[in-house]
Amino acid sequence: MKSFYVSDLDGTLLDGSGQLSSQSLNILNELLHDGLVFTVASARSVSSMRPILHGLSLNLPVIEFNGAFITDFTTGEHLSVNAMPREVVESICARMRLHGAEPFISSFDGVRDRVHYNEMRNLGMQNYLAQRLAQRDPRFGCPAKLEKAFAEQVVCLTLIGEYAPLAALQSEIEALHADAVETHLFDDLYFPGWPWLTVHDRRATKDQAIHRLAVDYGLESHERVVFGDQLNDVGMLKAAHRGIAVANAVDLVKRSASHVIGHHTEHAVAHFIREDWLRQ
């Protein structure tokens, strides 16, 4: 059986500095040239992926925002959009503000991707915004009223703050809208101490996006081999024929995996794919 490989990025395919190492790049490009079926599934946006994956000859669309978008990596065209209902977005934003929190709202206006934001309430938010502006992320404009985003297709609400308040807010959101949204609370690998809470539509999961790619690109008969490290990867690991965790993965991911490979800083995913591909 031929295999279809999908890897998470941060903490999995990328190295400790959040980059695709030259070693992993060379291995993957050599295999892609020989017919490897491979793509990535990440909580990142395609705008954030592009500088990191520059030079990688991907032959399939990428999965961004945990499955909110399936996107042509070259053109940026969204082939699939899973946006949250407007009334759900408004309800959750109102709940966030009751907690004194200001989200980043990621949306698609039908032409371009946008990130709406207003006040930077803490160091974590300031760091995130500074990074994106330094990278000239085209989604970021000037601060504005967040209500402008409600008329667009909102795919992600992101809060950055202290863990306990975010966990309490996550519980409230799930109690109110568990049938409509997916939430993830996780540490920022590159700026410790300022975790993120993200909210997506319930259809925006990596496993659902991988299934759609398999159907749309004639890969249903392929064995699905996926790689991950964080809680947002658990679903795709369980749904895959082989769900593989890196050594640095959180415990639940390791328990959900068919087996565990090396650390992400050791280029473990690329090495595993090469060995697995050569065996086939």
Q: pLDDT tens track of the chain, all 280 residues?
A: 899 999 999 999 999 999 999 999 999 999 999 999 999 999 999 999 999 999 999 999 999 999 999 999 999 999 999 999 999 999 999 999 999 999 999 999 999 999 999 999 999 999 999 999 999 999 998 888 899 999 999 999 999 999 999 999 999 999 999 999 999 999 999 999 999 999 999 999 999 999 999 999 999 999 999 999 999 999 999 999 999 999 999 999 999 999 999 999 999 999 999 999 999 8
pLDDT on residue 245: 98
pLDDT on residue 5: 98
Which residues fall within 8 angstroms of residue 160, CB to CB, at 6 or more apart? Answer: 104, 122, 124, 125, 128, 188, 194, 195, 196, 197
Which residue ranges form the domains of the chain, and what is each CATH number? 3-81+205-279 (3.40.50.1000), 86-201 (3.30.1240.10)
pLDDT on residue 93: 96
pLDDT on residue 1: 80
Global confidence as pTM: 0.95
Which residues fall within 8 angstroms of residue 68, CB to CB, at 6 or more apart? Answer: 81, 82, 83, 155, 156, 200, 201, 204
pLDDT on residue 144: 85
pLDDT on residue 209: 98
pLDDT on residue 145: 87
SS3 letters across the chain:
CCEEEEECHHHHHCCCCCCCCHHHHHHHHHHHHCCCCEEEECCCCHHHHHHHCCCCCCCCCEEEHHHCEEECCCCCCEEEECCCCHHHHHHHHHHHHHCCCCCEEEEECCCCEEEECCCCCCHHHHHHHHHHHHCCCCCECCCCCHHHHHHCEEEEEEEECCHHHHHHHHHHHHHHHCCCEEEEEECCCCCCCCCEEEEEECCCCHHHHHHHHHHHCCCCCCEEEEEECCHHHHHHHHHCCEEEECCCCCHHHHHHCCEECCCHHHCHHHHHHHHHHHHC
Q: Which of 117, 167, 110 is nearest to 142 (CA)?
A: 117
